[in-house]
Chains A and B, each alone.
Chain A
Amino acid sequence: MKINKKIGNVASIIHASIIFIFLYLPIIVVVAFSFNKSKINIVFTGFTFEWYGKILKNTRLIDALENTVIVAIVSTLLAVIIGTLAAVGMNKYRFKGKKVVDALLYIPVVIPEIIFGIALLALFSTAKLKLGLGSLIVAHTTFCIPFVVFTVRARLVGIDPHIEEAAMDLGAKRIRTFFEVLLPSIMPGVVSGALLSMTISMDDVIISFFTTGPQSTTLPIQIYSMVKSGISPDVNALSTIILIVTIVVVILSQSRMLRNIKKK
């Protein structure tokens, strides 16, 4: 019985290690090749920082990075505003058509992204809207809104519904109540909704593929067009930088949580 348990433990540690290797192997390869002297991503010929310097000279890459960041920030902002308000309203009020709004929130999450992508493309082209940063932002905002609503709503569930009334009772008007009392209490939900939106937006391939214009290529789309023929090592370098930035952001945003856990 005891021995069985031990074997089980060892097996599950091995299993977990294999999964982590599986998850990180391609990332390790990308990072490794970002330091590779050779221009082709096949043989490792020597160590260099050359490609990191080359990033800045690759204007296509830098433009794409810029577009990605602009789209991510603007659409996250829009999604956070619209989504937070929606979560608050849907949590508080009963109104006609609530079920419809709810269903519309689930659709972008559930249906395959490609359908959403072609649907927006069809709409934009029929409406004679020029594809570019604007259409990208609109598209990204749309698929980010549900995630903000869901994370904020999850947070709202744990909040005493009377705190807003308490604030109004003590003399705070509605807007004041929102900013003084409600928003600070749901802030963790808003922040994680925002982080989620940022990452989804920055990583989106499919919907961007259909809604981007020639002048507004984002990084994933740029990479997509390069990937088939072979990626230049500076893309590996840029990816490594982005990876490090992501990890730092994740650690910063989670460190407080980790510290709290440690205290317990």
Chain B
Amino acid sequence: MKGRLNKKVPLYTTIFPVTFWLILLVAIPLIYVLVLSFLTRLPNGRVDFVFTMANYKKLINPDYFHIYGISLFVSAVTTAICIVLSYPFAWFIAQGSERKKTLMMLLVIIPFWTNSLIRLYGWKTILGNEGVLNKVLLTLHLINEPIQMLYSLPAVILGMVYTLLPFMILPIYASVEKLDKTLLEAANDLGAKSIQSFLQISLPLTSPGIFAGSIMVFIPTLGYFFVSDLLGGGNTMMVGNLIKNQFYTAQNWPLGAALSIVLIIMTLLLVRIYTLMGGKLDDLGVAK
């Protein structure tokens, strides 16, 4: 029947392009990475279509454990610092008038709309041995010789926090903003002290924002190789750098693929924990 066929046309025109695109450029590449992780690397760096578990066996290696450990540590610390910085800040903004709120959120977003590498370079200029901060401290005679700040784990963490802070502020702000303020009044009315009403009401109701923010900070931190590259020098190797090296310097794609699969599994586990705790996937996309 003409009518019935016609009604399928809009469905196909809207859904087909995205389905085609995502299968071709998301599903297939990721499946290919999985396949690649079981293939053999030839001495010339090419890949041979021969099945092997060797890449995964290579992963059982204290050096790699160490790198994964450092990465998880950096991610955890970065996430924690972001939460501590963002939570009171989000509350502060949410108290303001509509106009003030919009302005402040714009101020949060603008830096993140400018090139992140340039901003990291700004930090390099500030933190370098002959950088702005050391100069200031020397002039004030607070120190006698420059402190080595760059190329260290703290510098990497600072860079990560800096780059990812908006991803924590935005979801927390969204959840604080959504919080029905009359609930707090009701709690006070029922005799709750500020601390109690915070622990009983504000915190539980805004925790979805904290969870979403944590996922959006923790996972990217694992892969942001350019931050550790710039601020960590060669001293801080993270999973991101390791994978990048396998695909570039070492030309060992199958090993890189195996490392990536481990990273994917870690990511999926984290997201699974997040959804099990009641987190919504939709909350992960909004802020970016």
Contacts and interface: CB of A to CB of B under 8 A. Distances in A.
A261 B99 contact: yes
Given A110-B267, A122-B253, A20 B121 contact: no
Given A41-B125, A104-B26, A122-B257, A113 B220 contact: yes
Nearest to A220: B117
B115 A149 contact: no
B109 A250 contact: yes
B141 interface: no
Nearest to A86: B18
Interface in B117-156: 117-126, 128, 130-132
A71 B165 CA distance: 27
B192 interface: no
Given A112-B220, A114-B244, A154-B286, A122 B15 contact: no
A261 B240 contact: no
A70 interface: no
Given A16-B89, A95-B11, A142 B130 contact: no
B56 interface: no
B85 interface: yes
A258 B103 contact: yes
Interface in A23-47: 23-30, 33, 41-42
B193 to A, nearest CB: 10
Contacts of A19: 85, 89, 165
B229 interface: yes
B128 A111 contact: no
Contacts of B73: none
The CB with the most chain A CB atoms within 10 A, among B113, B284, B288, is that of B113
The CB with the most chain B CB atoms within 10 A, among A92, A104, A108, A258, is that of A104
B21 A114 contact: no
Interface in B207-266: 215, 219-220, 222-226, 229-230, 240, 243-244, 247, 253, 256-257, 260, 263-264
Contact of B99 (A97, A105, A199, A262): A262
Contact of A42 (B99, B130, B257, B286): B130
B43 interface: no
B29 A120 contact: yes
Contact of B240 (A107, A112, A146, A174): A112
B99 A26 contact: no
A108 B220 CA distance: 11
A30 B14 CA distance: 44
Contacts of A82: 17-18, 21
B177 to A, nearest CB: 14
Nearest to B20: A82
A26 B119 contact: yes
A35 B13 CA distance: 52
A235 interface: yes
Interface string B78-107: 000000010011011100001100111011
Contact of A112 (B27, B116, B247, B267): B267
Contact of B17 (A25, A86, A105, A126): A86
Nearest to A138: B25
A260 B135 CA distance: 46
B114 interface: yes
Contact of B288 (A23, A118, A196): A196
A23 B284 contact: no
B30 interface: yes
B28 interface: yes
Contacts of B260: 114-115, 118-119
A105 B25 CA distance: 11
A27 B281 contact: no
Contacts of A242: 114-115
Given A109-B288, A122-B257, A262-B99, 16 more contacts: A26-B121, A28-B122, A85-B17, A86-B15, A89-B10, A106-B285, A109-B285, A123-B28, A123-B29, A154-B286, A202-B115, A203-B116, A209-B244, A223-B115, A223-B121, A250-B110
Interface of A: 12-13, 15-16, 19-20, 22-30, 33, 41-42, 81-83, 85-86, 88-90, 92-93, 95, 97, 101, 104-116, 118-123, 126, 138-139, 141-142, 145-147, 149-150, 154, 174, 196, 199-200, 202-203, 205-206, 209-210, 219-220, 223-224, 227-228, 231, 235-236, 239, 242-243, 246-247, 250, 254, 257-258, 261-262, 264
6 contacts: A26-B119, A101-B18, A113-B220, A122-B29, A123-B32, A202-B115
The 9 closest A-B pairs by CB, nearest first: A26-B122, A89-B14, A112-B223, A86-B18, A119-B29, A114-B223, A104-B22, A150-B285, A123-B29
